[in-house]
Homo-oligomer: A and B are copies of this chain.
Amino acid sequence: MTVTSKHATLLTPGPIETDDDVLLSMGHPSESHVGPSFARVFGETLTMLRRMLQTSNPDSQPFILAGSGTLGFDQVAANLLEPGDRALVLNCGYWGDAFAECLRIYRIEVDELQAPTVGSQPPVSDIERMLRATKYKAITITHTDTSTGVLSDVKSIAALVHTVSPDTLIIVDGVCSIGCEDLRFDEWQLDIVLGASQKALGAPAGLSIVMASSLAMQIFQQRQTPPGAYYASWKRWVPVMCSYESEPSPKYFATPPCHLIRALHVSLTKILSTSWEERLQQHEVASSKVKDAVADLGLEQICVEPSSQAHSMTAFWLPSGLRSENVLPFLARKGVILARGPQKEIAGQYIRFAHMGISATDSRRTDVDKGISALKEVLTDLRLG
């Protein structure tokens, strides 16, 4: 018997279904956050994060902090950028809005390039025009905007930036893409990828995850003003993270969340035990299955362009007359939890169905099939009823 043997199937875009071994790892007795046992676990977790993000540059710097993924925005705004710096935010929805708002709080000058419609993304020609017109210290890209399931082409955008504005730092919000979309830190020459523990990384919520490039760390070291936050200050965290990864005795700033880090350690160990190509393919298969089912039901995705559709989740319009707050409880009664969507203009009119992590990769699980069946049954009942 496992503690998780009986429960509704969670197919929301974070938190996601979590492996029993990951959950049970949190039953570990409390331990000293500076003792050798936890130090080894935290160090290995930081090192695995490098592999997860495909960076082999020893000067890349991983950070794992107690916090929600959103704390990653503050980390960027408070450490990498300085008041008065200019940033270009590529805005595909809710999370683009959020990143822009965060940067402005730290007195960054923000230009937003809005996607022309909900479910689309800013045209490459517009990005190029903006980059040629203004010198930006940084550009932010939401890899998958979890609000609508729009997937940005980070590889192409990064290549464009390197050609047109090579000094501009490339910052990727990978909260809903790390671990389920192709994302190559070194090869694409990214400067920041930020994430969270509770999506395709397969651990519980509560960890803010950041990878900074060698260049990003140089820019940080050379900043003229002190970091704009205390708890999120890399000045404080860099020696701590380095010590856990490479020294026998860890340094201290604030107490790390030992249990969550143990959980992430178990999850990353499992994830990294299969090939990256296989994992991507598993997510593509699960994604296609859900997207095909949605099409079979005569429903349209919020993101209509197939090449811009995330592989981690599917966001789709409900049949006219139905609202998410009415549909979701019927799904819950069938033991399937899907999610409403936070995108303001269309809130209530759509639903999000996630298919990432073990729900996509563990062939013994039937989560996705169960979700599809429940969706079909509920929509059929509601249409007839």
Known: A23-B26, A26-B27, A205-B33. A253 touches B15 (CB 8 A): no
Chain B residues with CB under 8 Å of A253's CB are: 70
Chain B residues with CB under 8 Å of A382's CB are: none
Task: Check if B31 sits within 8 Å of A27, measured CB to CB.
Answer: no
Task: Check if A29 sits within 8 Å of B12, measured CB to CB.
Answer: no
Task: Check if B229 sits within 8 Å of A105, measured CB to CB.
Answer: yes
Task: Check if B68 sits within 8 Å of A68, measured CB to CB.
Answer: no
- Does any Cβ of B come within 8 Å of A348's Cβ? no
- Does any Cβ of B come within 8 Å of A167's Cβ? no
Chain B residues with CB under 8 Å of A231's CB are: 67-68, 70-71, 73-74, 102, 232
Chain B residues with CB under 8 Å of A149's CB are: none
Chain B residues with CB under 8 Å of A320's CB are: none
Q: Which of B8, B14, B69, B259 contacts A204 (CB 8 A)?
A: B259
Chain B residues with CB under 8 Å of A102's CB are: 230-231
- Does any Cβ of B come within 8 Å of A46's Cβ? no
27 pairs, CB–CB < 8 Å, chain A vs chain B: A3-B24, A4-B29, A10-B32, A15-B33, A16-B30, A17-B29, A23-B26, A24-B27, A26-B27, A30-B198, A32-B339, A34-B339, A35-B332, A66-B71, A66-B206, A68-B231, A70-B231, A71-B231, A73-B231, A74-B230, A74-B232, A105-B228, A205-B258, A205-B259, A206-B206, A206-B260, A229-B229
Closest 8 CB pairs of A and B: A206-B257, A3-B27, A68-B254, A102-B230, A26-B26, A70-B254, A7-B29, A4-B29
